[in-house]
Amino acid sequence: MKKHNFSAGPCILPQEVLQQAANAVINFDGLDLSLIEISHRSENFVRVIEKARSLALELLGLENKGYSALFLHGGASSEFLLTPYNLMKKDGGKAAYMNTGTWSAKAIKEAKLFGDINIVASSEDKNFSYIPKDFTIPENVNYFHCTSNNTISGTQMKNFPEFDGLTVCDMSSDIFSRQLDFSKFDIIYAGAQKNMGPSGTTLVIVKNEILGKTGRNIPSILDYQVHIAKESMFNTPAVFPIYVSMLTLQWLKDLGGIKAIEKINNAKAELLYTEIDRNPLFKGNTAKEDRSIMNATFTLIDESLKNTFDSIWEKLGINGLHGHRSVGGYRASMYNALPIESVQVLVDAMQELETTISKK
């Protein structure tokens, strides 16, 4: 029996993608060679990375708009560093950051090595359980940085501040899940291991014209202009993670793209949040208007029911439901590839707990 996989990341991928990936590890493209033992410069792999790059731009509606799509090494944590390296002026550099959780805080920490960081908004006062609104971004900063979805706390930005300067967004955990005007962003980055593929590669979408203006000597591997010039092949790319990302992006396109998956994601989230609000045994962790469509966090009102509830959902084949170690409780991650049937099984588990308790 295939598990109902609510893992927060690395996370569930489409079953057909997993099957294609496994096949390619044995024999790729009918070459009688494994995907992972051929040259990254072979025409077969170049076709893969080019397709992954163009699918990413196409799905985001950013084709022919002056953006490049790169598949880089290093995870989103590397982009915490590449952002200031590529955008913050060498002399008198300033940037504005929103602090909406653990990952924002890590991005801020790295940026501080490069210049003055202005924390324009923070939800740290309430353990990151909401998204700050009504703040202003100073005009003189080199860029504004935000995190669109906070996997650990379970909040999500529904609106983005209007800002005339450069906007950088870490979309690691909700990219390709909902429609946005992506052309309002100058850099979007996302580790692959949520809605795209396995861990080991990071998608970076960057507006070409914003680069090369800091006065810094940037090490090659950290320089977006180098990666753009080398068509994302400055060094040997992470072949397998990029191949699986390409397959997942193709799967999403075949499904109808972001517009289609957004409907499904909204339906999944509504199903679960409705039960969280209805069921007297549970409560949600976050402000209702800021609830993430990707990661629903909730807790048992009576913690003594934990073992009973855990045994119910484990028996039903649910995996990965425990909250992040820094928050506790439960976290249901409902990424693109999670079927609504799995959410229904979780709702069933919550209702089964209610029935069990009422019988006692």
Interface residue with a copy of itself among 235, 266, 274, 326 (CB under 8 A) is 235
Q: Which residue in 281, 283, 310, 309 sits closest to 296, CA to CA?
A: 283
The secondary element (H helix, E strand) that includes residue 107 is helix 102-111
Instruction: Considering the complex, state which of residue 78 and residue 214 has its C-beta at the smaller distance from a copy of itself.
Output: 78
CA distances (Å), origin 44, targets 41, 159, 288: 8, 41, 47
Q: Which residue in 159, 157, 121, 116 sits closest to 137, CA to CA?
A: 121
Question: Residue-wise over 115-146: b if at least 16 C-beta within 10 A, else e?
Answer: bebeebbbbeeeebbbbbeeeebeeebbbbbb
Instruction: Considering the complex, state which of residue 61 and residue 75 has its C-beta at the smaller distance from a copy of itself.
Output: 75
The residues in 85-114 that bind a copy of itself, with binding defined as CB under 8 A, are 106, 109-110, 113
Q: Which residue in 89, 50, 90, 85 sits closest to 70, CA to CA?
A: 50
Give the total of residues touching a copy of itself (CB under 8 A): 63
CA angle, corner 182, sides to 214 and 204, nearest 5?
50
Q: Which residue in 87, 321, 46 sits closest to 214, CA to CA?
A: 87
* 9 part of the interface to a copy of itself, by CB under 8 A: yes
Q: Which residue in 152, 213, 149 sits closest to 180, CA to CA?
A: 149
Do you find a cis peptide bond into 10, omega within 30 degrees of 0? yes
The catalytic residue positions are: 103, 170, 194
Choose the binding region for a copy of itself from 62-70, 115-123, 234-242, 269-277 (rule: CB under 8 A). 234-242
Q: Which residue in 21, 15, 77, 93 sits closest to 245, CA to CA?
A: 21
* 329 part of the interface to a copy of itself, by CB under 8 A: no
Interface residue with a copy of itself among 73, 89, 253, 306 (CB under 8 A) is 73
Instruction: Considering the complex, state which of residue 81 and residue 119 has its C-beta at the smaller distance from a copy of itself.
Output: 81
* 246 part of the interface to a copy of itself, by CB under 8 A: no
Spatial contact of 165 and 141, defined as CB atoms under 8 Å apart:
yes
Instruction: Considering the complex, state which of residue 131 and residue 334 has its C-beta at the smaller distance from a copy of itself.
Output: 334
* 336 part of the interface to a copy of itself, by CB under 8 A: no
Choose the binding region for a copy of itself from 33-41, 135-143, 180-188, 207-215 (rule: CB under 8 A). 33-41
Q: How far is the CB of 53 from a copy of itself (least distance, A)?
A: 17
> Cα separation of 27 and 24, whole Å?
5
The residues in 148-167 that bind a copy of itself, with binding defined as CB under 8 A, are none
* 219 part of the interface to a copy of itself, by CB under 8 A: yes
Strand-pair partners of 298: 284, 330
Q: Between the CA atoms of 73, 163, 179 and 53, what dihedral angle is there, to the nearest 10 degrees?
A: -30
Q: How far is the CB of 125 from a copy of itself (least distance, A)?
A: 25
Interface residue with a copy of itself among 44, 54, 77, 225 (CB under 8 A) is 77
Interface residue with a copy of itself among 237, 284, 323, 329 (CB under 8 A) is 237
Q: How far is the CB of 240 from a copy of itself (least distance, A)?
A: 5
Site pattern 112..131 for a copy of itself (x: CB under 8 A):
-x------------------
Site pattern 181..210 for a copy of itself (x: CB under 8 A):
----------x-x---xxxxx---------
* 132 part of the interface to a copy of itself, by CB under 8 A: no
* 213 part of the interface to a copy of itself, by CB under 8 A: no
- Residue 303 burial (CB < 10 Å; 0-12/13-18/19+)? exposed
